[in-house]
Structure 1
Amino acid sequence: MKLKDKVAIVTGASKGIGKSIAIRYAEEGATVVLASRSEDLLASIASRIQDSGGRALALTVDVRRPESLEAVVRKTASEFGRLDIMINNAGISMVHPSEDLKPEDWQRALETDLFGVFYGCQSAARQMLSQASGGCIINISSMYGIIAAPMRAAYCASKAGANMLTKLLACEWAAKNIRVNAIAPGYIRTELVQGIIDKGMLPVGAIQKRTPQGRIGEVDDLLGIAVLLASDESSFMTGAVIPVDGGWSAYGYL
Structure 2
Amino acid sequence: MVGQDKLLQGKWALVTGASNGIGRAISLAFAEHGANLWLSARNRDKLHETADDAKALGAEHIIIVQADMSIKESVDELAGVVGSKVDVLVNNAGTLTESSVLKGNPDDWDRMVQVDLAAPMRLTRHLAPQISQRQDGGHIINISSVAGLEAIPGFAAYVAAKFGLTGFSKSSFEELRDKNVLVTTIYPGYVASEMTKNAPFPQDKMIRPEDIAQAALLPFRMSTRACPTDIVVRPSHKLA
TM bracket, shorter-chain basis = 0.7 to 0.9
Q: Which runs of 4+ in 1 moved over 4 A?
A: none
Q: Which residue of 1 aligns with 2:232?
A: 243
Q: Which residue of 2 aligns with 1:44?
A: 49
The answer to whether the 8 Å contact 2:87/2:134 transfers is: no
Counterpart CA distance in 2 for 1:89 and 1:124 is: 15
Counterpart CA distance in 1 for 2:223 and 2:236 is: 22
Number of equivalenced pairs: 232
Counterpart CA distance in 1 for 2:169 and 2:119 is: 13
Q: Which runs of 5+ in 1 are unaligned?
A: 209-214
The answer to whether the 8 Å contact 1:170/1:239 transfers is: no
1:9-28 equivalences under 5 Å are: 9-28=14-33
How high is the sequence identity, in percent, across the aligned residues? 31
Correspondent of 1:146 among 146, 149, 157: 149
Q: Which residue of 2 aligns with 1:178?
A: 181
The answer to whether the 8 Å contact 1:33/1:59 transfers is: yes
The answer to whether the 8 Å contact 2:99/2:109 transfers is: no
Correspondent of 1:101 among 79, 82, 104: 104
Aligned residue type for 2:89 = M
1:4 has 2:4 as partner: no
Q: Deviations over 1:176-225 (max 9, x none)?
A: 111111000001112443x43xxxx5134xx99xxxxxx42112221222
Aligned-residue Cα RMSD (Å) equals 2.3
- Cα gap change, 1:247 to 1:123, in 2 (>3 Å): farther
Aligned residue type for 2:154 = M
1:69 has 2:75 as partner: yes
User: Residue 63 of structure 1: CA displacement?
Assistant: 2.1
Q: Larger % of helix: which? A: 1
Counterpart CA distance in 2 for 1:88 and 1:172 is: 18
Correspondent of 1:164 among 163, 167, 178: 167
Counterpart CA distance in 1 for 2:113 and 2:78 is: 21
Q: Which residue of 1 aligns with 2:115?
A: 112
Aligned residue type for 1:219 = P
Correspondent of 1:59 among 56, 60, 65: 65
Q: Which residue of 2 aligns with 1:130?
A: 133
Q: Which runs of 5+ in 2 are unaligned?
A: 1-5
The answer to whether the 8 Å contact 1:69/1:123 transfers is: no
Counterpart CA distance in 2 for 1:241 and 1:42 is: 28
User: Residue 123 of structure 1: CA displacement?
Assistant: 1.9
User: Residue 66 of structure 1: CA displacement?
Assistant: 4.1
Aligned residue type for 2:218 = L
**SS in structure 1 of the partner of residue 171 of structure 2:** helix
Q: Which residue of 2 aligns with 1:211?
A: none
Q: Which residue of 2 aligns with 1:212?
A: none
Counterpart CA distance in 1 for 2:236 and 2:181 is: 29
TM-score (norm 1): 0.83
User: Residue 61 of structure 1: CA displacement?
Assistant: 1.3
